[in-house]
Amino acid sequence: MEQKNKSLILLLLAALFTVAVPDATAQSQPNIIILYADDLGYGDLGCYGASAVKTPNIDRLAINGVRFTDAHCTAATCTPSRVSLLTGTYAFRKKAAILPGDAPLLIPPGTPTLPHMLQQAGYATAVIGKWHLGLGNGVINWNDAIAPGPNELGFDYSFIIPATTDRVPTVFVENGRVPNLDPTDPIAVSYAAKIGNEPTGLSDPQLLKQRADTQHSNTIVNGISRIGFMTGGKRARWIDEDIPLVLNKKAKDFITGHKNQPFFLYYPFPNIHVPRTPNRKFAGTTALGARGDVIAEMDWLVGEITQLLDSLGITKNTLIIFSSDNGPVLDDGYEDFAVKLNNGHQPAGIFRGGKYSAFEAGTRMPTITYWPGTIRPGVSAALCSQVDLMASLAALTGQQLPAGAGPDSQNALDVWLGRSMEGRKYLFEESYTFALRNARWKYIAPQHTPTPDWMKNKKIESGLAPVEQLYDLQHDPGESRNLASQHPEIIKTLKAELKKLTL
pLDDT in tens, 239-263: 999 999 999 999 999 999 999 999 9
- Percent of the chain topping pLDDT 90: 91
pLDDT at residue 28, as a whole number = 67
pLDDT in tens, 139-148: 999 999 999 9
Spatial distance between the Cα atoms of 269 and 438, rounded to a whole number of angstroms: 30
pLDDT at residue 325, as a whole number = 98
Spatial distance between the Cα atoms of 413 and 415, rounded to a whole number of angstroms: 5
pLDDT at residue 205, as a whole number = 98
pLDDT at residue 237, as a whole number = 98
CB 124 within 8 A of CB 261: yes
Spatial distance between the Cα atoms of 390 and 335, rounded to a whole number of angstroms: 38
pLDDT at residue 24, as a whole number = 35
pLDDT in tens, 113-131: 999 999 999 999 999 999 9
Mean pLDDT (whole number) for 4-8: 44
CB 117 within 8 A of CB 389: no
Could you give phi then psi for residue 131, rounded to 5 degrees?
Answer: -100, -75
Number of other residues whose CB lies within 10 A of the CB of residue 239: 13
Mean pLDDT (whole number) for 493-500: 98
CA distances from 332 to 28, 119, 336, 430, 462 (A): 43, 37, 10, 20, 14
pLDDT in tens, 414-469: 999 999 999 999 999 999 999 999 999 999 999 999 999 999 988 889 999 999 99
pLDDT value at 4 more than 70: no
In three-state secondary structure terms, 159 is: strand
pLDDT value at 18 more than 60: no
- Percent of the chain topping pLDDT 70: 94
pLDDT in tens, 28-61: 699 999 999 999 999 999 999 999 999 999 999 9
pLDDT value at 299 more than 60: yes
CB-count exposure of residue 311 (10 Å: 0-12, 13-18, 19+): exposed
pLDDT at residue 353, as a whole number = 97
Amino acid residing at 415? V
Spatial distance between the Cα atoms of 207 and 218, rounded to a whole number of angstroms: 12
- DSSP string for 292-334: HHHHHHHHHHHHHHHHHHHHHT-GGGEEEEEEESS---S-SSB
CB 70 within 8 A of CB 379: no
- Residues ≥6 apart with Cβ < 8 Å to 290: 276, 277, 278, 283, 336, 337, 338
Mean pLDDT (whole number) for 72-91: 97
441-480 core/surface letters (b: 16 or more CB in 10 A; e: else): bbbbbebeeebeeebeebebbbbbbeebbbbbbeeebbbe
CB-count exposure of residue 246 (10 Å: 0-12, 13-18, 19+): middle
Which residues, in sequence order, are bridge partners of residue 321? 34, 369
pLDDT value at 375 more than 50: yes
Spatial distance between the Cα atoms of 380 and 363, rounded to a whole number of angstroms: 17
pLDDT at residue 27, as a whole number = 41
pLDDT in tens, 310-351: 999 999 999 999 999 999 999 999 999 999 999 999 999 999
pLDDT at residue 97, as a whole number = 80
Number of other residues whose CB lies within 10 A of the CB of residue 483: 15
Phi-psi label, residue 232: left if phi above 0, alpha if psi -120 to 50, beta otherwise: left
pLDDT at residue 25, as a whole number = 39
For the CA atoms of 53, 54, 55, 60, the dihedral, rounded to the nearest 10 degrees, stands at: 150
Amino acid residing at 472? D
CATH numbers and ranges of domains, the chain: 32-182+232-419 (3.40.720.10), 188-228 (no CATH), 432-502 (3.30.1120.10)
Could you give phi then psi for residue 350, rounded to 5 degrees?
Answer: -85, 0
Mean pLDDT (whole number) for 287-309: 98
Spatial distance between the Cα atoms of 147 and 468, rounded to a whole number of angstroms: 44
pLDDT at residue 120, as a whole number = 96
